[in-house]
Amino acid sequence: MNNSFPADKTEKIVHTFSLSDDKREAFLKNANEIISHHGGDNPEKISNAISEYADCIANSKGKGYKPNIYQDRRGDVTITRIDPPCGSNTYILETKEGLLVVDSGYSCFAEELMQTIRSLYPNFDSMKKEMIITHIDMDHMGAIPYFDRVYLNETSKENFILEKTGRINYRTKNPSRAPFYHVVEILTGYTTPSLSNIVLFDSIKPDHTQPLSYIGELKTNGLTFAVYEGYGGHVEGSMVFIENEHGLMITGDILINREGYTPCQLAYNRLPALLAGGSVNEDSKKAVTERHAVYELLKKQKWLICPGHGAIFNSEE
């Protein structure tokens, strides 16, 4: 039984992604480690999943970037959801004072995302460009360089500093999961953000004995968010943003809505968990507790919930 990533699949990926010799070797090393960690008695299943993941990324770039676009309203706020074939949702919150973008997909789709935003808002380049990043997953922060101000918490900034100084970051600390994230880096062109446009907003140190703890208030574009940080269920630094006046809740991947997936997204979204050893959560038990903590917050009023993946939904449903 072959426990190595097949040569023909390797060469196809090298050609499709124009990988350098160094990137080719790094990809092959990590692909083989994924098979070693998670292949069990069926390494071919994992090899095929790696190839499928690469195909999803490649087929969603350029002309293949065909996101679904939806709009909702909450009072005087218009919420536009850009829903790509693979990767996270991007939200645009339009108020009287301007636009606020939430999350921004993979790096390899950044130009396509920005073209989509400009098609929706032709004056975007002359506007104030601000973004919220809900957490440090690579499929949520690809367009950071395009924005003047990107709001982030201290925990997420710490992750980037670890990367910049060549240390193990929060996503790659588990040796059995790290190879998948390195493959993602290679295939999506991820590089650590420069941090020159990062604005820290948390003023209260999180209590990581609690599933969610309040870390501060973010005021921007006429909106006021109470911000809560999770304690490491999905990944360290994951945040929930709550705008009480309009009943808006932005949850990142602490909450997702699988019922909102397209068939393409259903096919794609089964792959990361398979290649990371069964779950994309760093600690599944903590992730469940984080979700239940969000559900407790939902009891306070009716909310329009913007999850990290899948359709927007109302809390009363």
Helix axes 21-38, 263-275, angle to 10 degrees: 80
Same structural domain, 194 and 231: yes
Of 59, 84, 101, the position where a domain reaches its end is 59
Residue 278 covered by a domain: yes
Long-range contacts, stretch 147-150, CB < 8 angstroms, 24+ apart: 147/101, 147/197, 148/197, 149/197, 149/199, 150/193, 150/197, 150/198, 150/199
Residue 237 covered by a domain: yes
Residue 2 covered by a domain: no
Task: Select from 297, 301, 308 the least CA-distant residue to 235.
Answer: 308
pLDDT for 148 equals 93
Residue 90 covered by a domain: yes
Same structural domain, 19 and 151: no
Of 42, 59, 76, the position where a domain reaches its end is 59
CATH no. for residue 173?
Answer: 3.60.15.10
Same structural domain, 37 and 102: no
Same structural domain, 211 and 269: yes
Q: Cα angle at 22 between 19 and 24, to 5 degrees? A: 45
Residue 272 covered by a domain: yes
Same structural domain, 272 and 215: yes
Same structural domain, 41 and 115: no
Domains in the chain: how many in total? 2
pLDDT for 2 equals 62
Residue 1 covered by a domain: no
Same structural domain, 119 and 235: yes
115 conformational bin, left if phi > 0, alpha if psi -120 to 50, beta if neither = alpha
Q: Residue 13 belongs to what domain range? A: 7-59
pLDDT for 263 equals 87
Helix ranges (H only) for the chain are 7-17, 21-38, 43-59, 110-120, 154-164, 178-188, 263-275, 284-298
Q: What is the pLDDT along the chain (317 residues), one digit of tens a residue?
A: 466 999 999 999 999 999 999 999 999 999 999 999 999 989 999 999 999 999 999 999 999 999 999 999 999 999 999 999 999 999 999 999 999 999 999 999 999 999 999 999 999 999 888 999 999 999 999 999 999 999 999 999 999 999 999 999 999 999 999 999 999 999 999 999 999 999 998 889 999 999 999 999 999 999 999 999 999 999 999 999 999 999 999 999 999 999 888 888 998 999 999 999 999 999 999 999 999 999 999 887 899 999 999 999 998 75
Question: Does the pTM exceed 0.85?
Answer: yes
Task: Select from 152, 182, 74, 61 the least CA-distant residue to 115.
Answer: 61
Same structural domain, 55 and 121: no
In one-letter notation, the amino acid at residue 61 is K
Residue 69 covered by a domain: yes
**In this structure, what token pair is assigned to residue 167?**
């240390």
Same structural domain, 87 and 28: no
pLDDT for 100 equals 97
Same structural domain, 163 and 265: yes
Calpha distance 137→4 (Å, rounded): 27
Residue 270: partners with Cβ closer than 8 Å, 6 or more residues away: none
DSSP state of 61: S
Same structural domain, 33 and 74: no
User: Number of helices (H) and strands (E), helices first, in the chain?
Assistant: 8, 13
- Other CB atoms closer than 10 Å to residue 49's CB: what's the count? 21
Same structural domain, 96 and 22: no
Look at residue 15 and give its three-state secondary structure.
Answer: helix
